[in-house]
Amino acid sequence: MGQRLHTEEWRAIPSTGRDIRLLVMRPTVSARPPERTPGILWIHGGGHVFGLYRAIMLARARSLVDKFGAVVVAPEHRCALESPFPADLEDCYAALLYLKAHAEDLGLNDSQIMVGGESAGGGLTVATCLLARDLGEVSIAFQMPLYPMLDDKDTPSSRNNHAPVWNTWSNHRAWRLYLRGIRPAPAPAYAAPARATDYAGLPPAYTCVGDIEPFYCETLDYVENLRRAGVEAHLDVYPRWFHAYDMLLPFTPKAKLAIARFEERYRYAADHYLAPQRS
Structural domain boundaries in the chain: 6-272
> Considering only CA atoms, which of 49, 73, 86 is closest in space to residue 182?
86
Question: Cα separation of 57 and 31, whole Å?
Answer: 23
CATH fold label, 6-272: Rossmann fold (3.40.50)
Give dist(CA 42, CA 72) in Å, integer: 7
Please list, residue by residue across 179-209, b when 16 or more beta carbons sit within 10 angstroms of its beta carbon and e when fewer do.
Answer: beeeeeeebbbbbbbbebeebeebbbbbbbb
In the predicted model, is pLDDT for residue 132 greater than 80? yes
pTM exceeds 0.85: yes
Residue 7 pLDDT: 94
CA quadruple 45, 50, 55, 56: dihedral positive or negative?
A: negative
* Cα pseudo-dihedral 121, 62, 78, 188, rounded to 10: -20
* 3 pLDDT above the threshold of 90: no
Q: How high does pLDDT run on average in the chain? A: 94
Q: Are β-strands 142-146 and 113-118 bridged in parallel, bridged antiparallel, or unpaired?
A: parallel
Torsion of CA 250, 253, 258, 259, to 10 degrees: 50
CA angle 52, 57, 60 (to 5 degrees): 140
Among the ranges given (52-61, 116-125, 222-231), the one the predictor scored with the smallest mean pLDDT: 52-61
Nearest 5 degrees, angle CA 178-CA 183-CA 184? 150
Q: Please give the C-alpha separations between residue 267 and each of 77, 148, 261, in angstroms, as whole numbers.
A: 27, 21, 10
pLDDT per position as a tens digit, 138-196: 999 999 999 999 999 999 999 999 999 999 999 999 999 999 989 888 999 999 999 99
